[in-house]
């Protein structure tokens, strides 16, 4: 038996990288997963590979969130977990950033997370149970040069705590995970020199894998974490220690 047996989990950004790893892990542990992404080909492929369903989802759209949640409840009867994994990154600081870039990143990383929590909360409240895992970043734990990205990840951290306080009486747990240098496109897009510089500062002297983040997500989705809510768990090999 798997520790997610009988649970229905929605995972955003499930078409590749960390999201795809989470889909595979959750499936292996017995969950039914609703795989969502804007990358329809990749998302469909992961869903077919794991025997799950795929739903196209732009996380900035309240209407699409409503459609995904309604279809999940209609097909599976309940929603036990949500992983707000979808996110984007672009460089831009005070001097070289723009308001358009700031709004673009905040809309996906922050508002998308808010919309996800808002969409699943009524179903979870009615069943008096649920676990929401919001993927933030170590950029949400310290100052970060890419100001819009950092601001959005600090916001995810704060919204997680606010939601944990609001939804706790309904036995809904809300936690955030803060990955460091994890082997996904977001890391590799920084370029070899920047990746090597970043990893050289990790006490464990290596980057992390999507599965190492994913196993932490699985723990928080499971009943093993039944009294953990409002927590922030850093998965970074000691980088910000």
Exactly one of 54, 144, 149, 227 is catalytic; name it. 149
Q: 13-25 in b/e burial notation, b at 16+ Cβ within 10 A?
A: bbbbbbbbbbbbb
Contact yes or no for 221/30 (Cβ under 8 A): no
CA–CA gap between residue 232 and residue 136 (Å, rounded): 9
Measuring CA to CA, which residue among 117, 113, 115, 8 is closest to residue 53?
Answer: 8
Residue 2: CB atoms within 10 A of its CB come to 15
- Residue 149 is among the residues annotated as catalytic for this protein: yes
Q: Enumerate residues 6+ apart whose C-beta is below 8 A from 131.
A: 80, 81, 82, 172, 173, 174, 175, 220, 221, 222, 225
CA–CA gap between residue 166 and residue 229 (Å, rounded): 11
Query: Encoding tokens for residue 10?
Result: 């929605």
Dihedral sign computed on CA atoms, order 42, 155, 206, 211 = negative
Strand order in the sheet with 172-179: 53-56, 32-37, 8-11, 81-84, 130-135, 172-179, 232-235
- Residues annotated catalytic, as ranges: 149
């Amino acid at each position: 038996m798997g520790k997610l047996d009988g649970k229905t989990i929605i995972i955003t950004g499930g078409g590749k990288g960390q999201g795809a790893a989470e889909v595979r892990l959750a499936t292996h542990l017995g969950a039914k997963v609703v795989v969502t992404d804007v990358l329809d080909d990749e998302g469909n492929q992961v869903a077919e590979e794991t025997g799950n369903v795929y739903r196209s989802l732009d996380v900035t759209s309240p209407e699409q969130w409503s459609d995904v949640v309604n279809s999940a409840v209609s097909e599976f009867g309940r929603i036990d977990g949500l992983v707000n994994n979808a996110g984007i990154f672009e460089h831009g600081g005070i001097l070289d950033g723009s308001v358009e870039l700031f709004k673009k990143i905040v809309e996906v990383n922050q508002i998308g997370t808010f919309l996800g929590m808002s969409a699943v909360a009524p179903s979870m409240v009615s069943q008096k149970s649920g676990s929401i895992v919001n993927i933030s970043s170590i950029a949400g734990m310290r100052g970060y040069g890419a100001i819009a990205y950092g601001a959005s990840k600090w916001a995810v951290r704060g919204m997680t705590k606010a939601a944990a306080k609001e939804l706790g009486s309904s036995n809904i747990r809300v936690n955030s995970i803060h990955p460091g240098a994890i082997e996904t496109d977001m890391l590799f897009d920084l370029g070899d020199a920047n990746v090597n510089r970043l990893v050289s500062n990790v006490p464990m002297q290596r980057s992390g894998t999507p599965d190492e983040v994913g196993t932490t997500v699985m723990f928080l989705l499971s009943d093993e974490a039944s009294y953990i809510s409002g927590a922030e768990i850093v998965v970074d090999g000691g980088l910000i220690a």
